Chain A
């Protein structure tokens, strides 16, 4: 809200310098975001404007008086309340539902939307331009000056926070005001020249012909005050915040009035605001009050009484204030206080946010000053601050991937369903069952991600387009999938890796196959990750997945459960993302992996006796039946207890040398006993058993 500094002085006894005022208000909960110099358009007046940001609970600070009262309390100075009084307003015609006087009738038909409606008829006004002082104040407040009558109502809105509306009484059919719900499809032309179509959700002010104003939001053009107006009916009402907010949100119309009603206006302000407006109108537009005001109020708005225990207040704040100081603070804020063992506090109706003892504690803290509360550290440590085992395992997973040279990436949790088309994701895959956003922020982020790969591919594409060709990224993040309506959608932690380019910080003179990422490097990373998490047994099975190269893709299994997939990115996908051929990626279900992971592995004794090594080269058909993993298993079975390890060290296929459709694999077998050095004869015996086994049982040809 714009608070003109000079105008504010009207309500402050003491002269508070502007810098100090801003500091006091900001530290007292009303943030002054900025001070702007203001000069009137005709250059004849200047002021400084405090731009305040009001928290949604403090509707009372949306007025000059509210700000002045707060500033006075914070500076321990006095506040000047501009009280106006007229007998016609002090003694209104009052009723619960409907009241009349002279030509005016007011009826509240919707007591939910409208709690109180006060009205006053002023006759013989001369509508015209506002005097300079009023025009300047309007301009300083940022309000367009309309005419003297409308400006006076806006002045009262600014000064007191009570929205007012002025009708040209002549244009109200039968002088009859009824506050009701709009009918279905009821139309109203508002003062801003927009037609609104209303419904039973909306509260309107109507005469017998139809709606004339949108309650608490804006008046209609048909009944507005103009140069020809001589009788003005002033409306000063109290509407339900929720009803006003609902209509304001639905129609997308927010005004100074609706903004205030949503944040709650003092229900006992309707008559004082009428008095102040009448005073100003008669001062600037002449005229006189026609007769007593009308005040239809559906109920009484009494002050609340609360109790504050000074000891409780101190024990919550960590302060040592005496009860008298607390009472003084509260009185300065406009609360009535009766001192005793407990403070009995009467809460004024302009502070509906103060409902409980704890709310009074906050008021005391604000006036005392948060700055003045000490710094202490909470006592008696009762639990150890430590990450859980699962949290430490997840951290470990990230560390392992970084140790493999991967940088951590973060991508958005939302995606576009077509991202999966872009990466040629299989059509019938479960990942296409998305959790959809009801209100996406943009058209390319409409569903929650079901896989991390599109995010990594997008990151890789960004790098490739920037001519960054060595890419090594991982991401640990949540993927989402719909569940039945009763429960929350499903969430899973996944880990994904994408790599392309060189493995090393420099690769000059190195042959490409030594320096560049390939399928086996990616596979090695998965093995490192799982091995570092306590080594759940992994296996890899050929897989068909259209995002990946048809011959270079594997399903990753943990025991007999699939936990993810890996492979070289298919050429079409690489092209779509501007990636070089040979980029590799992988995605695993991290939750499943961590379920089987352990933080601490059991120590394995280190061998004490030397090993014996033998090589075995075999030729087998080049197909999945003779995959190396199976051959290794067969050799292990044949080699018996002394075999420590068997690792392939040379794999090739050459139709000229070994015939088409065949491959040669050479294995190194390491033998060791844990209680002695093996002698040659023992090793040779095992090797010859292995030879005959692979020849006879496996059908391999042993190269000699």
Chain B
């Protein structure tokens, strides 16, 4: 009889502990502790025992009952906690828009300029700056522009006084820098320039330029080609090259027009490059000895190269922009993209 009670208790404990959820536990409770359960059945059997055994068995049964009840309750608590943990509680709509501070952007023209400046900093150039309003001397005379020459036509200069004009290129900075130091000179001069151009999709009276100047002993035209090739490769990858062909600028001799492989067609020819596979991006050349001599440099000892071009076209290629006017539109939808 004692064995039977112990066995019943062990079975009940196992059943309670193995119950996976509240439903199974409830089933086990009904089976062992219910009004018609097996414990009650065992109690009934005790009543049928001889009188002298009844108290002992009764207290044994009570103890088994307490133990079973205890395990049951402990398990019930555990399962309730587990269930509570699985209960969802507060739920939010995870698809509502996120909320953060806005992030500002660099203007795409200046971002392109920054990128070019980085490349030249890496080549040992420093950045020189100068005024946007210049005088005739620094703009033309010191750059070897002859007076009343057709070369002046291309400049389309804005004047703000008898001897004050809006610079049409950043070249005056080169002269100002050379006046202040002896070679070696290794500078790039970025900045805003102006030409009396009518505004359309590819022209604007306001534009940005980057010019470079290197004066030292033994500087060659081959060095100029190599330096600009580095720029092409760093900006647009190893498949991109620079092409040099003769051109004319008063402040360089020999002078070159510099074209870049058209990245749109990969050099095959397309509408953007007028089927040539090349995009004109710069003017360059060896600094004319007249310019160096004007500074007071020894032209037998020092030679140099200079290059310069607009940034707009490169920025347009870089970002796939097809209208130059967007740069000055002030449109947030445009400016927030870069």
Q: Which residues of A contact B (CB under 8 A)?
A: 26-29, 31, 34, 55-58, 241-242, 245-246, 262-263, 315-319, 356, 358-359, 361-362, 365-366, 370-371, 373-388, 391, 398, 401-414, 435-441, 445, 448, 455-456, 458-460, 462-463, 466, 468, 470-474, 477-478, 480, 485, 488-489, 491, 503-508, 510
Contact = CB atoms under 8 A, between A and B. Distances in A.
Given A29-B247, A413-B194, A402 B99 contact: no
Contact of B102 (A263, A386, A414, A503): A503
Contacts of A466: 331, 333
Interface residues of B, number: 88
Contacts of A489: 133, 160-161, 164
B222 interface: yes
Interface string B247-281: 11000011111000000000000000010000000
Contacts of B255: 362
Interface of B: 96-107, 109-110, 120-127, 129, 131-135, 147-151, 153-154, 158-161, 164, 166, 184, 186, 192, 194, 196-198, 205-206, 214, 216, 218-223, 225-227, 229-230, 243-248, 253-257, 274, 286, 288-289, 303, 327-333, 335-336
Contact of B158 (A262, A365, A437): A437
A382 B247 CA distance: 30
Contacts of A262: 150
A435 B133 contact: yes
20 contacts: A245-B148, A315-B220, A316-B221, A384-B126, A385-B120, A385-B124, A402-B103, A402-B104, A405-B103, A405-B104, A435-B133, A438-B158, A439-B159, A441-B158, A470-B332, A473-B330, A488-B131, A488-B133, A504-B101, A510-B99
Given A403-B103, A410-B327, A468-B332, 4 more contacts: A29-B245, A370-B225, A506-B97, A506-B99
B280 to A, nearest CB: 10
B126 A383 contact: yes
Contact of B96 (A241, A462, A491, A508): A508
- Residue of B150, B184, B257, B331 with most partner-chain A CB within 10 A: B150
The list of the 5 closest CB pairs from A to B, nearest first, reads A459-B330, A318-B222, A29-B246, A318-B220, A402-B104
Contacts of B104: 401-408, 472, 474
A505 B99 contact: yes
A197 to B, nearest CB: 22
Contact of A391 (B102, B127, B336): B127
Nearest to B229: A375
Nearest to A472: B102
Given A242-B148, A462-B329, A373 B225 contact: yes
B289 A358 contact: yes
A398 B106 CA distance: 8
B132 A478 contact: yes
Nearest to B117: A387
If over half of B's interface residues share one DSSP class (helix, strand or loop), that class is named, otherwise mixed; here it is mixed
- Residue of B198, B206, B221, B330 with most partner-chain A CB within 10 A: B330
Contacts of B327: 410
A321 to B, nearest CB: 12
A373 B106 contact: no
Contacts of A381: 124
Contacts of B164: 488-489
B220 A56 contact: no
Given A58-B248, A242-B148, A376 B332 contact: no
Contacts of B121: 385-387
A382 B184 contact: yes
Contacts of B226: 374-378
A393 to B, nearest CB: 13
B246 A371 contact: no
Nearest to B128: A388
A473 B229 CA distance: 36
B303 A316 contact: yes
B158 to A, nearest CB: 6
Given A378-B216, A480-B133, A488-B133, A458 B330 contact: yes
Nearest to A502: B102
Contacts of B244: 370-371, 373
A407 B332 contact: yes
A437 B333 CA distance: 32
Contacts of A387: 121, 126-127
A223 B264 CA distance: 57
A488 B100 contact: no
B335 to A, nearest CB: 4
B331 A463 contact: yes
Contacts of A29: 245-248
Contacts, number: 269
A700 to B, nearest CB: 36
Contacts of B105: 402, 407-408
Given A373-B221, A378-B227, A362 B99 contact: no
B127 A462 contact: no
Given A374-B225, A503-B102, A506-B99, A463 B148 contact: no
- Residue of B102, B243, B331 with most partner-chain A CB within 10 A: B102
B98 A375 contact: no
Given A317-B222, A402-B106, A503-B101, A448 B160 contact: yes
Contact of B243 (A58, A371, A383, A404): A371
A272 B243 CA distance: 39
Contacts of B328: 410-412
Contacts of B96: 506, 508
Contacts of A27: 245-246
Given A29-B246, A441-B205, A480-B133, A56 B98 contact: no
Given A29-B247, A371-B243, A388 B160 contact: no
B221 A441 contact: no
Contact of B124 (A359, A384, A408, A504): A384
Nearest to B257: A31
Given A319-B222, A402-B104, A505-B99, A383 B286 contact: no
- Residue of A29, A381, A462 with most partner-chain B CB within 10 A: A29
Given A374-B222, A505-B102, A506-B98, A412 B206 contact: yes
A437 B166 CA distance: 9
A401 B131 CA distance: 24
- Residue of A388, A411, A441 with most partner-chain B CB within 10 A: A441
Contacts of B122: 385
Given A315-B218, A402-B104, A466-B333, A437 B160 contact: yes
B126 A385 contact: yes
Nearest to A401: B104
A318 B244 CA distance: 15
Contacts of B288: 358
A505 B153 CA distance: 50
Nearest to A471: B332
Contacts of A376: 220, 222-223, 225-226
Contacts of B125: 385
A454 B281 CA distance: 33
B89 to A, nearest CB: 20
A489 B133 CA distance: 7
Contacts of B107: 407-410
A449 to B, nearest CB: 11
A34 B216 CA distance: 40
Contacts of B257: 31
A405 B101 contact: yes
B330 A468 contact: no
B149 A56 contact: yes
A503 B100 CA distance: 9
B163 to A, nearest CB: 9
Contact of A378 (B103, B154, B219): B219
B253 A362 contact: yes
A445 B206 CA distance: 12
Nearest to A400: B104
Contacts of B225: 370, 373-376
Contacts of A28: 245-246
Contacts of A318: 220-223
